[in-house]
Amino acid sequence: MIQVTPQMRILVAVEPQDFRRGIDGLSRICREVLASDPLSGTIFVFRSRRGTAIRLLCYDGQGMWLAHKRLSEGKFRYWPGRKGAAGHELLAHQLQVLLAAGDPDATRAAPLWRPIAQAATT
């Protein structure tokens, strides 16, 4: 089961993707377009070209998860990121809003008391 925690890194691919690609094809997008390791534990979020479905790709230490959600009606009207950018980071609560076809930027959640930072490498 995929559990989304506040400590997880969530990276959204800004450009829509061809959903005929499976785990291997989306992993390649993670490496080449988003410049991230698909085996890092990051949750990667992709949108279909028509905007009616999203996919989440995540490695849990044993294997890859590929979750797919297609809306019964309508489209995901909001999608994070700016044109020209490859990826956009979200917080865990913003992903939950996005999965409910909402606008994560329009929600008012409590601010992070102490942001979780990546460990510094020396």
Q: Are strands 53-59 and 64-70 parallel, antiparallel or unpaired?
A: antiparallel
Residue numbers in the chain where pLDDT is lower than 50: none
C-alpha to C-alpha distance for 115 and 122, rounded to whole angstroms? 21
Phi, psi angles (nearest 5°) of residue 70: -115, 130
At 5 the pLDDT is 84
Among candidates 10, 8, 12, 3, which has minimal Cα distance to 80? Answer: 12
CB distance 42 to 9 below 8 Å:
yes
pTM for this model (two decimals): 0.84
At 106 the pLDDT is 79
Radius of gyration from C-alpha coordinates of the chain: 14
At 62 the pLDDT is 92
